Amino acid sequence: MAASWTSVRQPVVYWGITRGTAQKLSEAHVHPDIEAAVILEGRQFIHYPDAVLECNPGDVWFAASGEIHGYTTEGMLSNACVAFSPDFLGDAMLGDRSWLSIYAEPPASRPRAVSQEQKSLLLAIGRQIHREATAQQPEWENAVRIHLLEMLLTVAREWTPNKRVVAHTTAPELSVLNPALQLVYARAPNGDKVSLGEAAAACAMSRFAFCRAFREATGSSFVEFSLRLRLSVALHLLRTTNLPVGQVAIRAGFWDRSHLHRHFVARYGTPPQTARSDISHPRR
């Protein structure tokens, strides 16, 4: 479980990844921040529990807060990847919907470049992000914010969400959710659940106001978000330890093996005991 990568003083983090050799699947991980990347050179496979996306130059990939993901690289790779907290883009809109609508979709349903023209535009935007983030001249974060919004708008123009449109949410409403997110991430590795009341109190909000703000910001309820994170912890333990499934269930905050089994199958389409293999075998 990675710690939070961004903070008030560091609202966005950039990785200009370059690799020259093939790489096996990296350790699947989750984190509180949101990611967006555009491939500049080479090929990369992005692995989620229920999908594997192949990305070539001009393609983009996204990882939502609390979403388990890993990577496989073939040959030379260069990409422009940014991690940021929700309030980095605040209440920006993509036409008539929030930019968060992209992240509210399952990975396989998120927008992809559908034409060579789109890929060319995304390549140019990715290179601008790379230049600004590596040079880090004054106001470079604002420049990256503008280019990131341009990336999201470009890729979303010919895309229709499968789910309901995520409601318009203001930056202050997004910011006040951070205490609850940090509380969940601090407890999740130990299998300790955060109740709805605790999460709302951490944000100094009523349960009703917290539930509404959380759903508008993330596209899911707080209970669903917390469950997804604990399932990610369970999957991580299954793939990296030899613990019996019953012990994995307890460590991930489930009542027992059957409780984990029910939610695991609903989320990943396979029982926990068969999930110790690579997550690159998605549910069809």
Token pair belonging to 235: 């999957």
pLDDT at 100 over 80: no
| Residue 123 near residue 58, CB atoms below 8 Å | yes
Closest by CA to 87, choosing from 23, 141, 14, is: 141
What's the half-sphere exposure (Cβ side, CA atoms, 13 Å) at 25? 19
Closest by CA to 81, choosing from 5, 167, 154, is: 5
Share of the chain above pLDDT 70, in %: 82
**247-277 b/e (C-beta count within 10 Å ≥ 16 → b):** ebbbbbbbeebeebbebbeebbebebeebee
Quick: pLDDT tens for 58-67: 999 999 877 7
Token pair belonging to 123: 């390549």
Strands (E), 202-247: none
Quick: pLDDT tens for 70-88: 888 887 789 999 988 777 8
Residue 283: band (very low, low, confident or very high) from pLDDT cuts 50, 70, 90: very low
Question: Of the given ranges (16-20, 112-116, 155-159), which has the lowest mean pLDDT?
Answer: 16-20
pTM: 0.68
Quick: pLDDT tens for 23-57: 666 667 777 788 999 999 999 999 887 789 999 99
Residue 123: band (very low, low, confident or very high) from pLDDT cuts 50, 70, 90: very high
Which H/E stretch holds residue 41? strand 34-48
Give the number of other CB atoms < 10 A from CB of residue 1: 15
Domains of the chain with CATH codes:
12-156 (2.60.120.280), 176-274 (1.10.10.60)
